A = this chain, B = another copy of it.
Amino acid sequence: MADAKAAIPVTNSDSPYPLVARQAAPHVVRISDVEFGSDEFVVIAGPCAVEGQDQIENAARVVQSLGARVLRGGAFKPRTSPYSFQGLGLEGIELLRRASLKAELPFITEVMSVDQVWELEPRVDAFQIGTRNMHNFELLKAIGETQKPVMLKRGFGATLREWVLAAEYIAKGGNHNIILCERGIRSFDPETRFTLDLAGAIWAKQETKLPVIIDPSHGTGLPELIDPLARAAAAAGLDGIMVEIHDDPDQALSDGDQALTSRQFKTLMSNLAPIVEAVGRRMENV
């Protein structure tokens, strides 16, 4: 990794986060052939958790057909209670991989420990670091030693500065393939599950060279807010969104309440298109 680090041009040596600070040239991160930070507005979609072969393959087909460019699905799930469904683990990864190949969509999935980084590196298209692990510095360092693209979610109790410094931990290891994802912070209001900090996501886009997306599903917990927030993200100049869909939200093993049905997702995509166009960007496959 020493070589990789040596080759990195440090663009802003006065910054507290010189490696990820904003720079003149655009920094594009690729998950397979999908570009984040270019003129494409990228939609990542899929279920919260992989629950079985049919479920994930159907989901992959549906989201692909409606214009999503990356498949999401959790196999290792960080759950608040030890008695909740913890994910299918490696079996879930294998199901994701097959669904991804069939639908011709790259996939992203959460990684929760250093051991999993080594185990999953050859098997996944992109890593996700979840909100509860944003400050898991050993995990950040391990991912920094790979060249795998990684989506770094903001900790729900983390400041914007801490979020960007967590990205700097990864970049310091030599891996600059980082996508930032704002997914809501804790606030006092109980109506929405979290408070989606859109202004903070815009701040991160202006302050760093990294692509920035939002996750309005986790960020609000309310399906009816996802469509307008997706449009808001596009209008504000962010680089994409990640949304949860589930054929049968009531039966989902994790976070079903906030998932969109296929029909709702279709509406979202159709409402999103004119906004993406209005800001001079494009969506592939729509």
Contact = CB atoms under 8 A, between A and B. Distances in A.
Given A80-B162, A160-B191, A228-B237, 7 more contacts: A160-B192, A186-B188, A192-B199, A198-B229, A206-B225, A275-B278, A275-B279
B132 A112 contact: no
A200 B190 contact: no
8 contacts: A16-B81, A82-B168, A160-B191, A160-B192, A191-B200, A195-B195, A229-B236, A275-B275
Contacts of A228: 202, 235-237
Contact of A202 (B82, B135, B138, B229): B229
A137 to B, nearest CB: 5
B203 A225 contact: yes
A124 to B, nearest CB: 17
Copies assembled: 4
A169 interface: yes
Contact of A188 (B139, B188, B199): B188
Contacts of A191: 159-161, 200, 203
A96 B15 CA distance: 35
Interface of A: 16-17, 78-83, 112-116, 132-133, 135-139, 155-162, 165, 168-169, 172, 185-192, 195-200, 202-203, 206, 216, 219-220, 222, 224-225, 228-229, 231-237, 274-275, 277-279
| In the A-B complex, the 6 residue pairs with the closest CB atoms | A157-B157, A132-B135, A235-B235, A232-B232, A186-B188, A113-B138
A224 B199 CA distance: 10
Contact of A114 (B80, B113, B169, B202): B113
Nearest to A186: B188
Given A159-B188, A232-B235, A220 B199 contact: yes
Contacts of A136: 112-113, 132-133, 136
B192 A190 contact: no
Given A135-B78, A136-B132, A159 B189 contact: yes
